[in-house]
Structure 1
Amino acid sequence: MSQSATELHNSAIIIDAVCPLLDDRERIADYQAGGVTVIAPTVSSLENAETTLRTIGAWHKLLRERDDLMLIRTAADIRRAKAAGKTGIIMHFQGPGAIEDSVDLIDAYKVLGVGIIQLAYNLKNLIGDGCEERTDAGLSRFGVQVVERMNSARIIVDCAHTGVQTTLDAIKHSSAPVIISHANAKSVHPSPRNISDELIKAIAENGGTIGVVGFPGFVSSDKRPTLDQFIDHIAYMGDLVGTQHVTLGIDYYTGQFPYVDDAIAMKQYQQYLAEGIWTAKAYPEPPHYYPAGIETPKTMPALTKRLLERGFTEADIRKIYGENLLRIYETVWGD
């Protein structure tokens, strides 16, 4: 990597906003090795409140025990973490199971440090429809209450994995910018989990951001997507709505290559299909190889090098890596 790319990577605030790989907390070291400033473990998805509280408690214990980690509650916390050489932790829900049927739980989670809640995970729930549901009916009345309470509690509304109409309804009813933490451009690769130009524009027009994903089935039809195919989604969305609306939500996870044996990955995959959480159309069979060059978080500097080679400016890279999400965090959480 060139000196300029190295300097840029080391000095930039880098936020990977979707990190289910951190179900294995030993993998924090992989993100640190790759120079990532802030990581967002998936502390809940479809799990109920009791299970989620146990997970949040375990994270707080880890944060208390490790001086190299820092809970992120505000945008200023991220700047402090960068200056101190610490790794910031943002608690992220990849689904609203933990809300159950009580909007009051939203306030409780905010106090515990939860900063972002996703409204659906592919399926229908009490709030609205997921992106792979048979219907797309939009927000329920309860869903409107959830969005309004999230606004009041200053939790970011995330519409990744969420149906189109549910997302548009969330934008309509939210007083703060709505984001899509991780989704690629359907015009670049037509996965059911990717989003249309219209939805990309709607998120941008409401002041939100879209995080580019490395999960291979969302990048291309190739079993082993290239780094350029990943960057193609960044370039496309940047050309469509401006790089100020593009972020990273790479979505490294414990079931990917090289973190798990192929047989175990396949067993987990078959379970997800049987439970209806995933569909074969959106999620190809494992092994899941992330884009060549950034197969794991350890190798993130390769992305900086290639973005520069592709003609992205240092200013654009800094925005995509962290400044765009910092803007959202300042708006919703405060500074």
Structure 2
Amino acid sequence: MDAAEKPLHEAAIIIDAVCPLLDDQSLIADYQAGGLTAIAPTVGYWHGADVTLRTVGSWHKLLREREDLVLVRSAADIRRAKALGKTGIILHFQGPAPIEDNLDLIDAFKALGVGIMQLAYNVKNRIGDGCEERTDAGLSRFGLQVVERMNQVRMIVDCSHTGVQTTMDAIEHSSAPVIISHANAKSVYPSPRNISDEMIKAIAGNGGTIGVVGFPGFVSADKRPTIDQFIDHIVHMCDLVGTQHITLGIDYYGHQYPYAEDRAAMMMYENALADNSWSPNAYPPPPHIYPAGIETPKSMMALTDALLRRGFEADDIRKIYGENLLRIYETIWGE
């Protein structure tokens, strides 16, 4: 272990902004073992308001019962969690299905602590097109209203999984920075889920951030990517727009190795292909093994060590780990 690695890792505010692994709430412990300060369970996917409300309610119950957890509504909540040795919980939606066709549901879910919402999840919806849709239309009239209402209630606009033109329209029409919570660089590895250099520059140009993803199909063509292949995406994006716009959205999830048996993972995969939420072009078949050394959130310190070995300065690592997202949260949610 490098002498600088452990104190840097322990002192840094570390935010993983995309954590669908937390569909199983018991796995909070794995993130805590890895030294994470704040984590973002996906509390809304493709279900409507009724099912999503039950999920949000289960998190509020857990937050009430556990003194080691803090609901994050502001940047100050994350700083407080770090100071107290607690874990911040950031509620976010991967897709707009929970708001159905009612703008007032944006207000309702924001009041319940949902601070971030993706505009699409791979396919077309009433707001706009996903990144794997055959068309590339921009924001609909309803989509423009959604962005405006999200700005009004201070909910962060996330264009992960979202089509190019819909994303560009969101950047143009949003009065607050637009982020991409999790996507890698297409010029490093050309997955349909990754984003172009032009998109990286557009997000940075609007004051936003891009989170680097560990899902193997977005990292490289290798079944078991190396940690350096993961860092290649960080290096490329930092060279392109600076370290102040790069974050972590590692996207650990419940059907990856080693959390799911191969049979269960394949069943989930086949269902995702059947309902068109995934395509084989972007999502290779399981097992999905995350980059070597950070296969699970428990071993996140290995990333700190690898970034130091690749020549990243401690200040830049702290920016990527948490300070860049704290800036976004302060700007949109308030201090």
Question: 1:45, CA displacement in angstroms?
Answer: 1.4
- Normalising by structure 1, we get a TM-score of 1.00
Q: Which residue in 2 is equivalent to 1:281?
A: 281
Q: Which residue in 2 is equivalent to 1:40?
A: 40
Q: Which residue in 2 is equivalent to 1:177?
A: 177
Q: Distance in 2 between matches of 1:150 and 1:285?
A: 35
Question: 1:3, CA displacement in angstroms?
Answer: 2.5
Q: Which residue in 1 is equivalent to 2:82?
A: 82
Instruction: Note the alpha carbon deviations across 1:166-194, whole angstroms, 9 max, x for none.
Output: 00000001000000000000000000000
Q: Distance in 2 between matches of 1:169 and 1:45?
A: 22
Question: 1:2, CA displacement in angstroms?
Answer: 1.7
Q: Which residue in 2 is equivalent to 1:134?
A: 134
Gaps of 5+ in 1: none
Q: Which amino acid aligns with 2:34?
A: G
Q: Which residue in 2 is equivalent to 1:159?
A: 159
> What's the Cα RMSD here?
0.4
Q: Distance in 2 between matches of 1:334 and 1:195?
A: 29
Q: Distance in 2 between matches of 1:137 and 1:118?
A: 16
Question: 1:263, CA displacement in angstroms?
Answer: 0.7
Q: Which residue in 2 is equivalent to 1:30?
A: 30
Instruction: Note the alpha carbon deviations across 1:54-78, whole angstroms, 9 max, x for none.
Output: 0000000000000000000000111
Q: Which residue in 1 is equivalent to 2:113?
A: 113
Q: Which amino acid aligns with 1:12?
A: A
SS of the aligned residue for 2:92 comes to strand
Q: Which residue in 2 is equivalent to 1:307?
A: 307
Q: Distance in 2 between matches of 1:240 and 1:70?
A: 35
Q: Distance in 2 between matches of 1:39 and 1:196?
A: 27
Q: Which residue in 2 is equivalent to 1:150?
A: 150
Instruction: Note the alpha carbon deviations across 1:24-62, whole angstroms, 9 max, x for none.
Output: 111100000000000000000111000000000000000
Q: Which residue in 2 is equivalent to 1:197?
A: 197
Q: How many residues align?
A: 335
Gaps of 5+ in 2: none
Q: Distance in 2 between matches of 1:208 and 1:56?
A: 26
* Percent of residue pairs identical: 75
Q: Which residue in 2 is equivalent to 1:21?
A: 21
Q: Which amino acid aligns with 1:16?
A: D
Q: Distance in 2 between matches of 1:306 and 1:29?
A: 23
Q: Which residue in 1 is equivalent to 2:318?
A: 318
Instruction: Note the alpha carbon deviations across 1:141-161, whole angstroms, 9 max, x for none.
Output: 000000000000000000000
Q: Distance in 1 between matches of 2:246 and 2:25?
A: 27
Q: Which residue in 2 is equivalent to 1:268?
A: 268
- Structure 1 segments, 4+ long, off by >4 Å, are none
Question: 1:270, CA displacement in angstroms?
Answer: 0.4
Q: Distance in 2 between matches of 1:276 and 1:149?
A: 28
Q: Which amino acid aligns with 2:71?
A: L
Q: Which amino acid aligns with 1:13?
A: I
SS of the aligned residue for 2:4 comes to helix
Instruction: Note the alpha carbon deviations across 1:88-113, whole angstroms, 9 max, x for none.
Output: 00001000000100111000011100
Check if 1:123 corresponds to 2:123.
yes
Check if 1:248 corresponds to 2:248.
yes
SS of the aligned residue for 1:179 comes to coil
